[in-house]
Amino acid sequence: MFTFPFFKNNEPKNDGNGSHPIIDLRDVHKSYKTAIGDFHALNSIDLQINAGEFVGVIGKSGSGKSTLLNMITGIDRPTSGEVYVNGTAVHQLNENQMARWRGKNLGIVFQFFQLLPTISVIENIMLPMDFCRTYPMREREPRALALLEMVELADQAYKLPTALSGGQQQRVAIARALANDPPIVIADEPTGNLDSKTAESVFAFFNELVAKGKTIIIVTHDSGLAKQTHRTALITDGEIVNEYVAKAMPTLTQDQLLQATRKAKCQTYEAGTMIVSEGTNADSFYIVSKGTVEVVLPRENQSDVVALQLGPGKVFGEMAFFHERRRWASVRASEHSPVEVLVLGYDQLDELLAESEATREALHRMATRNKEENIARRVGTS
């Protein structure tokens, strides 16, 4: 069982809405000049990650995953846009400021470990403390030993890294990333060179760190492991696919999800506002992206009844798309908070479904089931 020595309290701060964006990328673009013209590695990236979240970044090779991490870590700078990490405008730091800031705020775990082969395991872990001078000299070795104990490698402390297995070296790399007790840990394919059993144990360890208040971002090609995170950022052709579009229509391909993200228009409704009204003509499909909406059914000579509540990733408007193009119920924003929805016109939805028969069938089944439930509720409330 892992223990966690010398850790500060990194519990998420409350911004009044129950969350605190510790990482905030605003309209970030990154272009590289090549012999054949500009290559756009990132396009209009907006990404907010709250303190204490465990976020997986997935995407095909060359999709922009590593470039995205380089923006967050300050290894590279955006061509345009802003990057804020733990309250610092990272895009404005000079090189000297960047190195010191990175050492105190970020722990980075690399796919190929990047341990220095000519010094001992414990010296590798002490190096970040030496560079940033975060702990008095007398505390550094005991802290490094405690971190090795945490990853169950204290007995390997004075060996060279080359004497350890790949899985052991990765655990040393994680211990090194935690040396200065950073609030954020970023791992780039940390399980790429590990067997499945060791990869699972590394992921379990990350989950324990999150439970202790760390914010962790992990790039992985393994979608199965990515599902173990709190949420997933899918990046395709340098753009982030909206996570709620992906949740609502999981059978779309990555390219189709990107199309849907580009086509969807974001609309916000104040608490209690009616979004669609029963019996009216319908022309749009909705995906809830923030807050909660209420599906409302009328009752004769009585107040309306809230039949259903839908949160982020849930949809409405699918019944009208498949059945008569009229609204089968009213939908309003919850009375407790504003609601944000993503809107696709029916023509746009039809184009997407023409490319994915599996998605069309899934939505059709949902629409038919919801229509039957709608009718049953009306009988029950009449």
Torsion of CA 93, 96, 97, 103, to 10 degrees: 120
Is there a contact between 238 and 59 (Cβ–Cβ < 8 Å)? no
Q: Is 92 helix (H, G, I), strand (E, B) or coil?
A: helix
Answer for the pair 84, 90: CB distance below 8 angstroms, yes or no.
yes
Residues 290 and 339 in one domain: yes
Strand-pair partners of 108: 186
pLDDT for 88-117, tens place per residue?
999 999 988 998 899 889 999 887 888 999
Q: Tell whether 110 and 223 lie within a shared domain.
A: yes
* CA distances, 166 to each of 103, 112, 160, 170 (Å): 24, 9, 13, 6
Domain-embedded: residue 340: yes
Could you list the residue range(s) of the whole structural domain that residue 282 is in? 258-381
Q: Distance between CA 233 and CA 220 in Å, rounded?
A: 11
Q: What is the pTM of this model?
A: 0.79
Give the pLDDT confidence of 302-325 residue by residue, as tens digits: 677 888 999 999 999 999 999 889
CATH of the domain at 352: 2.60.120.10
Q: Residue 114 sits in a domain of what CATH number?
A: 3.40.50.300
Structural contact between residues 282 and 317, judged by C-beta atoms closer than 8 angstroms:
yes
Question: Are 98 and 235 members of one domain?
Answer: yes
- CA distances in angstroms from 269 to 144, 293, 337, 340, listed in the order given: 51, 10, 9, 6
Domain boundary residue, one of 213, 241, 269: 241
Q: What does the pLDDT profile of the chain (382 residues) look like in tens digits? A: 344 445 555 444 444 344 568 999 999 999 998 888 889 999 999 999 999 999 999 888 888 998 999 999 999 999 999 999 999 999 999 988 998 899 889 999 887 888 999 999 999 999 999 988 889 999 999 999 999 998 889 999 999 999 999 888 988 999 999 999 999 999 988 877 777 887 788 888 888 889 989 999 998 877 777 788 988 899 999 999 999 999 999 999 989 999 999 999 999 999 999 999 999 999 999 999 999 999 998 766 667 788 899 999 999 999 999 988 999 889 999 999 999 999 999 999 999 999 999 999 999 999 999 888 888 877 665 5
